[in-house]
Structure 1
Amino acid sequence: MGRRQPNRSLAALLTEADWTAGELARAVNALGVRYGLRLRYDRTAIAHWLDGSRPRPPVPGLVAQAFGRRIGRVVHVGETGLTPVASPAHETVLTTGDFIQRLSALCRADADPASRLALNRQMFTATDVRLPDWPAPVTPATGPGGATGGSGRPVDDPRLTDVVVIFTDLTEKYGGAHARSALGAYLADDVRYRLLAASHQDAQDFSLLGGSARLTHLLGWMAVDAGLPNFGYHCYWSALEQAHRAGERNVFPLTLRAMSMLALRLDDVPHARQWARSALEGAGPTVPPAVLARLYAGRATVRAVDGERRAALDDLLAAERHLEAADQGDADPFRRYPLAAFLHRRGEVLLALGDRAEAVSAFRESLAARPPNHRIARVLTHTHLSRTLLALGELETALDECRQALGHYEFTASHRATTALTAVGRALAPYRRHAGARELRARITEATGPGGAR
């Protein structure tokens, strides 16, 4: 066996980041917590990497993200010199073959708990998203390519549209860990079979592809909400490819926006910034105002976290203008942006900018506009309110918001909701002498434990 070669790429990144080996180790450990990983690297481990050893996935991806956060640009895994020589079989399936094979691999992985967790441990190593050259609109009214509307846009397959609406509604009410396997099975059996049948006939069914892109995006959203961020990234990437093939200029930018919000949640600001910008650049002239409102609101969030106050507020205003022109009667989740969702996003932007009192007002307006049975959104909004009110010194009001969050939480199956409620419990720690705070902390611990909601 030959001697290992020193990892000069990793050494160069350490120099660029102005980090010691110990600082890199601590950054990787901290980032791993966000992915549910308990890592205990130290400077000795980094020294081994510099000598040529390679950690197992998903650590190379975490290293790239940690450097990206430090340097302020996207750092790809290949730049670290830690890329494994050979990819695991299930990862190879997702990066080779045609898009139907990759969709099949995703659905198979989702159906098997061991494969699903193994794939989620593989960090999503993103390449830069290149905005596509969109296919020319389909001109016939009917034919092998499927029916089209007057604008040349494919007419939605009503069966798939109904499934999108049903699973979106379930996710908004109860969370991504509820009924996700049913959506994966539907994609694997019904949709995949029809895509294969069309491909064997050399037919391009644009309405079927568009519906499949929506469902794959939705599967990614549910996976992320269930605490499977890397699996969700793979779903989003598949949805991008299908949306491009279908000429779906609503789904494509909204999927980029979803990827941007996920990257932001994982503290990967460089990718969040890149994808939020690309989402707006890729939105075509036929994109509805509601979609533009959602894209601007997403970029506002990234800019607020990135410290760009003026730009974030400008994006919020742009989102509001587009929302005023939007058709809120459209049932398609990919062509509407509910007012309650925008107001919640406004609250998050204002909170990131440090405008706590204004954020409280936005969150309360969001709750007033939100359907009572949208449990996940209510848990997230009430927990945001609780923590913000604590920061403003309004303990009793904060405790009331926490109680309301707990009332909805018992009906949810969402890792995101669990994380939000757990954060409130930590924020209440300094108030352990207060009887109400102690009681709520105990209730949160019981609710979020193994026997509570997921």
Structure 2
Amino acid sequence: MGQRSPRVPNERLTALVRETGWSHTQFAWAVNRVGAERGDSLRYDQSAVCHWLHGTMPRARVRPLLLEALARRLNRPVTESAAGFPTAPDTGPGPSGIPTVESLVDLGSHDMDPSRRGVLGVGLFSVALTIPGWPDVVGRAEAVQSGRARRIGQGEVDTVVAMTERISDLDDEFGGRHARPMAAAFLVNTVAPYLRADAPEAVRKSALSAAAYLSFLAGYMAVDEGHHGLAQRYYVKSLELAGAADNHLTYCATLRGMSVQAINLRHDRLSLELADAAAEAAPQAGPRVRALLSGQQAHAAARAGDRPGALRLIRETEASLDRAESREGRTFTSYDPAALNYHIAEIRHEFGDPHGSVEALQEAERLRNSNHRRTRVHRGGLLAERQLGVGHLEAACATWNRALDEYPHVQSGRADERVVDAVRLLRPYLKNPVARAVHDRARALAPSGPNAPNGRGGVTGLL
């Protein structure tokens, strides 16, 4: 019998782990945390890390988790080669080098295919993703100006705008679980052919702007479902299309959306960088747009621990909103007093004023657009959690009940999380009959199976 070749220590991976300053246990925990974002319940410990460093190759499915954990710690991309892993071909949608429209079609085609959607959903959010700056995307018009088969006019662009508004309305009222595949199909079957068609320059840029907003909306809906890697891909396509259209507003609003995504995942430094980049790239923006951008900057600054900066920015947001005219259009400029109060609530929460946070969330709920059912479930659940945190159990239960009234009509990952959290948070209060009734109601409604948040399989494991 031949002898087994001895394993060769992975010196590249060893050097990277040494650079992080982590112990083997801390590295294992970081990998487990990244896995949890993908819905994988991993239990790696220091012994697994020792095996990896001494030459045992991690499973192919796990290697991207190691690379992402290292990238987040080192704040730069980490490739397979840099970590001593075999280099795998890029099989994901939209690889670099493919023109914008072609990669958008590839991405949307995968997203509208139910057999592929699960694969896309496990894509990782990457803090080391390269975000194209405005100078990088503004010159890319030639990448999407390739049509010869037909000619379009403003009527076709108006159709894209109207359909996108309908999809956005469905998302607001019912959540993105069903609306996003519709958006993906529309991108592939209608919008992409329009982008390839001949058109006057003004019409072509209008079409690119409409496509940029639809791509942003698809990314936003992917965030709602917890598919964060997929959302990043849609967002980058939105940035590229906005640059090709010379559309600063969509570019800045997409960066802001990426900041919101990062802050929800607790990547606080990245969130602040994206919010700042969005504000800096918005020349001569109107006051409502300024409020939209500075409100997110204030929230991100608070999460980063910058109290003076957060307070200065939220004052600027209030001043900008006071100067704004009545509604300035639908797409990105709908920042309103309800959104302002949500940001005030988050800032107060970060700086240790839970009662002030509850008051601001209550005001936001009073002012909120009644058509946004998904938002009522999500933000209502947040208010209930904050009310419970300050000892207002019965008020929290009343708020949860209102959210649960709406929940059966909503298909949303974030709404699912709020319902699962209600079950968990009310568990210590089951001796109170009001709390018990809400707990049992939430438990009966909570998702299980493939739609359970983070792959947790419903609430059974929490009880």
Superposition TM-score, scaled by structure 1 size: 0.86
Pairs within 5 Å for 1:27-426: 27-55=30-58, 59-63=62-66, 65-67=68-70, 71=73, 74-78=75-79, 81=83, 85-91=87-93, 93-125=94-126, 126-133=128-135, 135=138, 157-198=157-198, 205-285=204-284, 287-426=285-424
**Deviation of 1:9 (Å):** 4.5
> What SS does the aligned partner of 1:333 have?
coil
Distance 1:451 1:435, change over 3 A: farther
Q: Which amino acid aligns with 1:214?
A: Y
**Deviation of 1:77 (Å):** 2.8
User: Structure 1 stretch 7-16 or stretch 415-424: which is displaced more?
Assistant: 7-16
Q: Which amino acid aligns with 1:237?
A: V
Distance 1:110 1:135, change over 3 A: closer
**Deviation of 1:67 (Å):** 4.7
Q: Which amino acid aligns with 2:118?
A: L
Would you say the 8 A contact 1:68–1:75 is kept in 2?
A: yes
Aligned residues: 437
Cα distance in structure 1, aligned partners of 2:247 and 2:430: 53
Distance 1:47 1:203, change over 3 A: farther
Q: Deviations 1:121-160 (Å, cap 9, x if unpaired)?
A: 2324443434222759x9xxxxx9x99xxxxxx9994322
Would you say the 8 A contact 2:11–2:84 is kept in 1?
A: no
Name structure 2 gaps, 5 residues minimum.
Answer: 142-146, 453-463
> What SS does the aligned partner of 1:89 have?
coil
Would you say the 8 A contact 2:397–2:435 is kept in 1?
A: yes
Cα distance in structure 2, aligned partners of 1:339 and 1:374: 15
Would you say the 8 A contact 1:340–1:365 is kept in 2?
A: yes
Q: Which amino acid aligns with 1:294?
A: L
**Deviation of 1:210 (Å):** 0.5
Distance 1:257 1:444, change over 3 A: same
Q: Deviations 1:404-440 (Å, cap 9, x if unpaired)?
A: 1111111111001111222222221221222222222
Cα distance in structure 2, aligned partners of 1:157 and 1:204: 7
Cα distance in structure 2, aligned partners of 1:346 and 1:371: 18
**Deviation of 1:254 (Å):** 1.0
Distance 1:130 1:6, change over 3 A: farther
Would you say the 8 A contact 2:225–2:412 is kept in 1?
A: yes
Q: Which amino acid aligns with 1:270?
A: R
Cα distance in structure 2, aligned partners of 1:158 and 1:3: 65
Aligned position for 1:11: 14
User: Structure 1 stretch 54-63 or stretch 163-172: which is displaced more?
Assistant: 54-63
Cα distance in structure 1, aligned partners of 2:70 and 2:435: 39
User: Structure 1 stretch 400-409 or stretch 174-183: which is displaced more?
Assistant: 174-183
Distance 1:435 1:114, change over 3 A: same
Would you say the 8 A contact 2:279–2:294 is kept in 1?
A: yes
**Deviation of 1:339 (Å):** 2.3
Q: Which amino acid aligns with 1:165?
A: E
Would you say the 8 A contact 1:305–1:352 is kept in 2?
A: yes
Q: Which amino acid aligns with 2:123?
A: Q
Would you say the 8 A contact 1:198–1:204 is kept in 2?
A: no
> What SS does the aligned partner of 1:393 have?
coil
User: Structure 1 stretch 1-10 or stretch 218-227: which is displaced more?
Assistant: 1-10
Distance 1:87 1:265, change over 3 A: farther
**Deviation of 1:59 (Å):** 4.3
Distance 1:297 1:54, change over 3 A: farther
Distance 1:78 1:452, change over 3 A: closer
Cα distance in structure 2, aligned partners of 1:127 and 1:334: 24
Cα distance in structure 2, aligned partners of 1:110 and 1:225: 15
Aligned position for 1:443: 441
Cα distance in structure 1, aligned partners of 2:396 and 2:63: 40
Cα distance in structure 1, aligned partners of 2:41 and 2:266: 17
Identity across matched positions, percent: 30
Q: Which amino acid aligns with 1:399?
A: C
Cα distance in structure 2, aligned partners of 1:326 and 1:156: 31
User: Structure 1 stretch 99-108 or stretch 265-274: which is displaced more?
Assistant: 265-274
> What SS does the aligned partner of 1:40 have?
coil
Q: Which amino acid aligns with 2:131?
A: V
Cα distance in structure 2, aligned partners of 1:318 and 1:103: 37
**Deviation of 1:213 (Å):** 0.3
Would you say the 8 A contact 2:157–2:203 is kept in 1?
A: no
Distance 1:24 1:447, change over 3 A: same
Cα distance in structure 2, aligned partners of 1:240 and 1:60: 29
Cα distance in structure 1, aligned partners of 2:439 and 2:392: 17
Aligned position for 2:25: 22
Cα distance in structure 2, aligned partners of 1:304 and 1:8: 40
Cα distance in structure 1, aligned partners of 2:209 and 2:5: 51
Cα distance in structure 2, aligned partners of 1:203 and 1:157: 11
Cα distance in structure 2, aligned partners of 1:351 and 1:156: 46
Superposition TM-score, scaled by structure 2 size: 0.85
Name structure 1 gaps, 5 residues minimum.
Answer: 139-143, 148-153
Would you say the 8 A contact 2:16–2:83 is kept in 1?
A: no
Cα distance in structure 1, aligned partners of 2:64 and 2:262: 13
